[in-house]
Amino acid sequence: MSTFTGRTIANTYKGLLNIDNDNSGIDTTVRTVQDGEGTASPLQLSNSILNVNGDFQIGGVQLTANVSSLNALADITGATGMIAVDGGTAYGRTLTGGAGVSITSANGTSGNPTIALNTTGVSAATYGPVSLITVNSVGQVTSATIPTSISVAEIRGSTFTTEYLNASSNVSITGNTLIAGSLTVSGTTSVSNIVVTSIDAGQINSAIVSCSIMTANVLNVIGFGTSVTNFTANNLVVLSSTQLTGMVSAANAVFSGNVSAANLYADTNIYIAGAAIPNATQITSVNDSITALSATMATSIGTANTRITSVSDYAVALSATMATSIASRLPLAGGTITGTVSAQEVDVSSLGIGTVAGAKRLTMNGAAVAQYASLTDGATIAVNFNTAQNFIVQLAGNRALGNPTNCVAGQTGSIIIVQDGTGGRTLSYGTSWDFIGGTAPTLSTGVSAVDRIDYIVYTSTAVQAIASLDIK
């Protein structure tokens, strides 16, 4: 601090402050504070007012708010906690939690408030795929468990997987897959793909069924794309009448009622009324074929009885010359039929004829049927043209269609190729298969998709073929 000690007035008056009031001092009028030379400062004083016309600083920090904004501040000296201002009046506020919500330091005086949902009744875990979940009125999950059994009016989904399914009414899954350890349905089951260990249902309609044991009151198999196209079972038990228009293959099939099938295959024997029907290798002559139908009828034909005194004699009455014609004129193991053959129906396999070659004309009043033979699925699928003209196979993986054997120029037919319940299977072809432009077809990849390859044998090593894809 400067001092005036020892200084003359001429050297000190500029450092003095005075009030601009003609030496009257501080009074009620606001006076400007000046230095000794009369230079005015921003500071003005009266005995009741302090006014600053310039910047105002506190502790070296400039106050930027104007007087109007400072005057607008509410009095918060009496408030506690968080402040809310209403009409210029300040109030202290405290947060209050509702149902299921907890708040710590609700008014903020002890720190920042913390808001959390209450955890009651449920443990941290993964629940599914089908769970019992309890939710309270504010949307909190209070409990979640996996039930031991489920009872619902309807289940909807693209793929349904379960260890055991027991339905008191109908089960219908259209265009998708049902995978279950066991399926029991009191009503009708209608599913595109069924993959289970055992099925017990009133009626089953499906595109593909694969199981170990099947029991059904009524089983309708009516061809591709309608009900069941490929049926595989280790044990098939049908309690009522059964209509099988498609192809059925089973290790053991038991029918209590009537059976109507387009193709019925058995690895061992087919029994009728407790008696086994001989298989193809056991029929070596016309008499063997007749014996398989009726041993008594064969005896009657062999002795040329002409009187009708029994059922066996009735066969002789139908055609006394039939036995002679069959025994002496038709070739039994090969040979050639010349001229014109006209018949209501000719069953070559039943007559024991290997081929009908050199005939000028083969005329039939009814339809000519070439039944489908099932091909064995495998890495390379073998085709033997001696066994059939038309074939069918379901792919269970990426496969190759091998070169066919026993090719005879002029033979025609079709091969039906079906995707399994997974789909996406591919098929390559042996060198004997020739396609238009030399480009082999790419199969349809959808689940249970059906493609057809039509062929005609050109030479023993060239089979011309064309594909019809995604048949629906």
The pairing of strands 141-145 and 57-58 is unpaired
Q: Is 407:387 a contact under the CB 8 Å cutoff?
A: no
Residue 454 bridge partners (DSSP): 414, 466
- CA atoms of 470 and 448, how far apart (whole Å): 10
Q: Is 127:141 a contact under the CB 8 Å cutoff?
A: no
- CA atoms of 360 and 137, how far apart (whole Å): 88
pLDDT digits (tens, 9 = 90+) for 161-205: 676 677 766 676 655 566 666 667 666 676 656 666 666 666 666
What residues have CB less than 8 Å from 81, skipping those under 6 apart?
Answer: 92, 93, 94, 106, 107, 108, 109
Tell me which of 206 and 105 has the higher pLDDT: 105
Give me the mean pLDDT over the 216-244 stretch.
55
What is the separation, in whole angstroms, between the first and last Cα of the chain?
109
CA torsion through residues 250, 251, 255, 259, sign: positive
What is the token pair recorded at 352? 């024991």
Give me the mean pLDDT over the 91-110 stretch.
86
Instruction: Give ∠ CA 137-141-147 in degrees, rounded to 5.
Output: 120
Q: Is 28 helix (H, G, I), strand (E, B) or coil?
A: coil
- CA atoms of 315 and 297, how far apart (whole Å): 6
- CA atoms of 169 and 357, how far apart (whole Å): 58
Q: Is 206:191 a contact under the CB 8 Å cutoff?
A: yes
Percent of the chain at pLDDT above 70? 55
What is the token pair recorded at 110? 């002890």
pLDDT of residue 300: 45
What is the token pair recorded at 315? 């066969």
Q: What amino acid is encoded at 92 in this protein?
A: G
pLDDT of residue 84: 85
Q: For the chain, give every domain's residue range.
A: 9-62, 159-276, 372-468
pTM (2 d.p.) = 0.34
Q: Is 328 helix (H, G, I), strand (E, B) or coil?
A: helix
Select from 329, 336, 345, 338 the least CA-distant residue to 360. 338
Q: Confidence class of residue 232 from pLDDT cuts 50, 70 and 90?
A: low
- CA atoms of 354 and 101, how far apart (whole Å): 89
- Residue count (the chain): 472
- Average confidence score pLDDT of the chain: 74
Backbone angles phi, psi at 413, to 5 degrees: 170, -165
What is the token pair recorded at 154? 């309807």
What is the token pair recorded at 265? 């295959």
Q: How many CB atoms within 10 Å of residue 299? A: 14
Looking at the predicted structure, is the pLDDT value of residue 360 above 70?
no
